[in-house]
């Protein structure tokens, strides 16, 4: 989605640090910028790559730790149109 937005917005140059080996679309998994679209942004990757990779790794490690401590997210409430219970009306 990000690469599509970059192409559609006609952003001239994108500078990034860490590639996404699992889902990247600027040359990691797929290279959408190599396809015959009407705009080709200039990509500059690997800027402070080690530092960026460490920041991403630390962020997701912290996120996983926080989720383990608080438990799984609460189940979403279904709207009444789908057979769910409407939320309580506090205005009465």
Q: What is the pLDDT of residue 41?
A: 93
Q: What is the pLDDT of residue 78?
A: 64
In a domain, 19, yes or no: yes
In a domain, 76, yes or no: no
In a domain, 92, yes or no: no
User: In b/e form, how buried is each residue of 52-76, taking b as 16+ CB within 10 angstroms?
Assistant: beeeeeeeeeeeeeeeeeeeeeeee
Angle (nearest 5°) at CA 42 between 41 and 43: 110
pLDDT band of residue 1 (cuts 50, 70, 90) is confident
13 pairs with which residues across the strands?
42
Domain that holds residue 34: 2-71
Number of domains in the chain: 1
Q: What is the pTM of this model?
A: 0.63
**Which CATH number goes with the domain that contains 19?**
3.40.140.10
Query: Which two structure tokens, joined as six digits, stand for 79?
Result: 């709207």
In a domain, 45, yes or no: yes
In a domain, 80, yes or no: no
Q: Which residues contact 74 (CB under 8 A, 6 or more apart)?
A: none
Q: What is the pLDDT of residues 14-64, one digit of tens each?
A: 999 998 888 888 877 888 888 899 999 999 999 999 999 999 999 999 999
């Amino acid at each position: 989605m990000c690469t599509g937005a970059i192409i559609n917005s006609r952003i001239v140059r994108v500078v990034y640090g860490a590639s996404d080996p699992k889902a990247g679309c600027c040359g990691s998994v797929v290279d959408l910028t190599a396809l015959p679209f009407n705009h080709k942004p200039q990509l500059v990757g690997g800027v402070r790559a080690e530092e960026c990779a460490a920041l991403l790794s630390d962020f997701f490690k912290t996120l996983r730790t926080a989720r383990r401590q608080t438990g799984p997210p609460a189940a979403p409430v279904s709207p009444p149109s789908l057979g769910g219970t409407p939320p309580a009306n506090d205005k009465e």
